[in-house]
Amino acid sequence: MRRPRKRQSARISPRSSLRADVWLMRHLQVALASLGRLIRTPLSTLMTTLVIGIALALPSGLYLLLGNVESLSGHWDGAASISLFLTQETSDEQAGSLASQLRRDPAITRVRLIGRTEALDEFRRLSGFAGVLDSLEENPLPSLLIVEPAADRTEPAAAEALLARLRQHSEVEFAQLDLQWVRRFHAITEIARRGVIILATLLGLSVLLIVGNTIRLEIQNRHAEIEITKLIGGTNAFIRRPFLYNGAWYGLFGGISAWLMVGISLLLLDNPVEQLAGLYQSGFRLSGIDFATLLVLLGGSTLLGLIGSWIAVGRHLHEIEPA
């Protein structure tokens, strides 16, 4: 009988593990050395970082402002709300039952019931026809339900679908939604969103140019050092590595400075915006950069710095050859 073969567990070769450790250690040494070189020239590093930060803060601030404007639209009274005028035969109890049913709908955020008596009192107070209304034998006004859709149902197509569904209730005689206002608002925000994308693209290219020009100047300043390194056998990859880390550090510091600029701007605007919102009986407050957006900002800025330095090094490093 054949003996069953024993499965050989996969083992990591000590040599490959040692190579990985050496590779990581070399990159860590180069990264720290590049950081130390930038710290030894604080003024030029600060100036470059601030320029990158300003270029990144503009689209970041506009993106955040756009998000706050979209959030503010949900705090406006009557924003994208649906008015349901009930039939005259619908009593206040039936209207309350319908309101309770609609509140359980996940597509609806809030339902406000204005009964027939409340509607008549409000009309009497605002119209100035109190004497005429008192002469009426019965209340001519129907009950009214003001429905506010959920955040994912405020777009025109979703709002129209919700309006059509609400019209199917037998108690509803007339349903009204200002779709024109909703379409205009979403068209404006879409234009603003694309404008932010275009501006972010242009300023991202400017960050590439800033980092690339900074690395180019550093390559020129270290021209003799690069020649000597090539004479003793240094490869282009070995010479390129510290410049790439320099670009990554520039991008990371630029992203951090952009985050600080946007945060300080929000702190300066928070109190005036809160006072203005209070005048309109609104609890709106500016929202800052969340953790996910911060990660995207720092990761994107670091990647831009790395790409800019890669382009500059790839273009100018091959031009330097020992005589």
- pLDDT tens for each residue of 163-180: 888 888 888 888 888 667
Does residue 296 sit in helix, strand or coil?
helix
- 90-110: pLDDT as tens digits: 887 888 888 888 888 888 888
The one-letter code for the residue type at 122 is: E
* Alpha-carbon radius of gyration of the chain: 32
Both tokens assigned to 259: 């985050």
- 108-118: pLDDT as tens digits: 888 888 877 77
The residues that bridge with 172 in the sheet, in sequence order, are 86
pLDDT at 77: 44
Q: Domain segments of the chain: what residues?
A: 27-74+185-316, 82-177
pLDDT at 8: 47
Residue 300 pLDDT > 70:
yes
More confident residue, 77 or 166: 166
Does residue 115 sit in helix, strand or coil?
coil
- 2-28: pLDDT as tens digits: 555 544 444 556 666 667 777 788 878
Both tokens assigned to 101: 């049913």
pLDDT at 295: 95
- 237-249: pLDDT as tens digits: 888 889 999 999 9
- 43-65: pLDDT as tens digits: 999 999 999 999 999 999 999 98
More confident residue, 147 or 74: 147
- Order the strands of the 108-114 sheet from edge to edge: 108-114, 144-149, 82-86, 172-177
**How many helices (H) does the chain have, and how many strands (E)?**
10, 4
d(CA 234, CA 47): 32
Pick the CATH number of 82-177 from 3.20.20.70, 3.30.70.3040, 3.30.200.20, 3.40.50.720: 3.30.70.3040
Find out whether 273 and 284 touch, Cβ atoms under 8 Å: yes
The one-letter code for the residue type at 276 is: L
Residue 84 pLDDT > 90:
no
The residues that bridge with 163 in the sheet, in sequence order, are none
The one-letter code for the residue type at 123 is: F
Please give the model's pTM, rounded to 2 decimal places.
0.69
